[in-house]
Chain A
Amino acid sequence: MKINENLAISESGFLFNPSTGESFTVNPIGAEIIELMKEGKTEAEISEKIIKSYEVDIKTLQKDLHDFSEILRHHQLLDQYEETKN
């Protein structure tokens, strides 16, 4: 799961995909997760970071992370090369 490197994300959670011109908004946790993905963190590393910062059990977190990545994939916000490789 690797986010499209060109994606621009602002502190307010406004997301802009420069290759398609599409824009989205995400909530603060979504923005944090995307920042972590941009830093190249793995899914396990992201889970670890989130679980330390928020009151959430691992099962709920994994489910939510999976749902979130599916939404990103649906909107073609994940790196296409990485996607094909996997």
Chain B
Amino acid sequence: MKKQRINIGVTGLNAIDSPGPGIAVIRGLREAKSFDVRIIGFAYESMEPGIYMHDLIDKTYQIPYPSAGTDVLLARLAYIQEQEKLDVIIPNFDAELYSFMKLEDKLRQMGIHMFLPTISQFEERHKVNLSDFGEKYEIDVPLGKAIYDSSEIFGLQKEFDFPLMVKGKWYDAYIAYNMEQARTYFNKISAKWGLPVVLQRFVHGTEYNVTGLGDGNGNTIAAVPMRKQFITDKGKAWAGISIDDKKLLAITEKFVSATKWRGAFELEMMKSNDNTYYLMEINPRIPAWVYLAVGVGQNIPEALTNLALGNDVEPFRTYEVGKLFIRYSYDMIVDRSEFEKISINGEL
């Protein structure tokens, strides 16, 4: 029997040194067993490598930055929908998720399905609110506080101690070893990502991540834990290995069932030297290393697409332990005319 072909729009095509998840998501979709795909890439900049990966992406459209507002985005998506008849969109950037969540109903009326967290789930897990989140769901989180002025750091010295983490509300995190560094990082981060800036107690230990998928009713559809094996200077995993850690999986199931999480997620966990697991951050989307999950037997992008389309999805029960992903960079040779087309017409 011929498989159904689904048209899927995917963002996050910036396969750079701190990569967006788009390319990994697309590789998962291309390997889906339950459907065939036509992939429509959504790019913000004409230099996003995914635009030129024609073996993975059938057509790419430039879309407006989230700062342009949801009306502009909706108009652009309506135009794309006329050309492409999209069935599903998988947004992969933290900063764009809010706009897509706001547009979920309107897009559904246009025939486009998504499977995103609810706005309250999105807000509640925000790093600015993580301390309250930990208390509410009885999950260990490091002490954290959102601040709006660098002078507040001085008053919080006793609570936090050095070193401490200084984090932007969307991206970026630095370890500050003294007051001067903390102030510098506050200024650097607030200039780039705005306020508030989050101070977080530093936890010594080993970093683990879990990627997974919740069905919105409290069931965990997928969960794969990974230990970073090699980290870039930006703190991104360049290599990692799938592990079998029952405690991490139990925390993940607790997180999904307590919050009734809807959609994909990544939990950033720290195992301290006394073997306590702290939840450091919840990313409400698929992470860039998701292809490891696909490679060990849990095709999260495929399962997410089926959930978006309202299909029944059986939870994954197993995965291969001890498999590594090792990222690499690769130079493509691109004709100038391609660059010209995406730059002038906004599509390629």
A contacts, CB < 8 Å to B: 6, 8, 16, 18-22
Query: Could you tell me the dominant secondary structure of chain A's interface residues?
Result: loop
- Cβ B322 vs Cβ A19 within 8 A: no
Which B residues are CB-close (under 8 A) to A18? 243-244, 321-322
- Cβ B322 vs Cβ A8 within 8 A: yes
With contacts A21-B227, A21-B229 taken as known, whether A16 is within 8 angstroms of B245 at the C-beta atoms is: no
| Tally of contact residues, B, Cβ under 8 A | 14
Decide yes or no whether B206 CB sits under 8 A from chain A.
Answer: yes
Cβ-closest 8 pairs across A and B: A21-B227, A21-B243, A18-B244, A21-B241, A18-B321, A19-B245, A16-B322, A19-B244
Which A residues are CB-close (under 8 A) to B322? 8, 16, 18
CA distance A18 to B206 in the complex (A): 15
Besides A19-B245, A20-B243, 19 other A-B contacts (C-beta < 8 A): A8-B322, A16-B322, A18-B243, A18-B244, A18-B321, A18-B322, A19-B243, A19-B244, A19-B246, A20-B227, A20-B245, A21-B226, A21-B227, A21-B229, A21-B240, A21-B241, A21-B242, A21-B243, A22-B227
Which B residues are CB-close (under 8 A) to A16? 322
Tell me the B225-279 residues at the A interface (CB within 8 Å). Answer: 226-227, 229, 240-246
Tell me the B156-196 residues at the A interface (CB within 8 Å). Answer: none
CA distance A22 to B321 in the complex (A): 12
Which A residues are CB-close (under 8 A) to B226? 21
Which single residue of chain B is at the shortest CB-CB distance from A22? B227
CA distance A16 to B242 in the complex (A): 12
A-B contact pairs, 9 of them (CB 8 A): A6-B244, A8-B322, A16-B322, A18-B321, A18-B322, A21-B226, A21-B240, A21-B241, A21-B242
CA distance A70 to B311 in the complex (A): 53
Which single residue of chain B is at the shortest CB-CB distance from A23? B241
CA distance A21 to B209 in the complex (A): 12
- Cβ A20 vs Cβ B246 within 8 A: no
CA distance A61 to B108 in the complex (A): 72
For A6, A19, A20, A21, the residue with the greatest tally of chain B CB atoms inside 10 Å of its CB is: A21
Which A residues are CB-close (under 8 A) to B241? 21
Which B residues are CB-close (under 8 A) to A19? 243-246
Chain A nearest CB from B267 CB (Å) reads 15
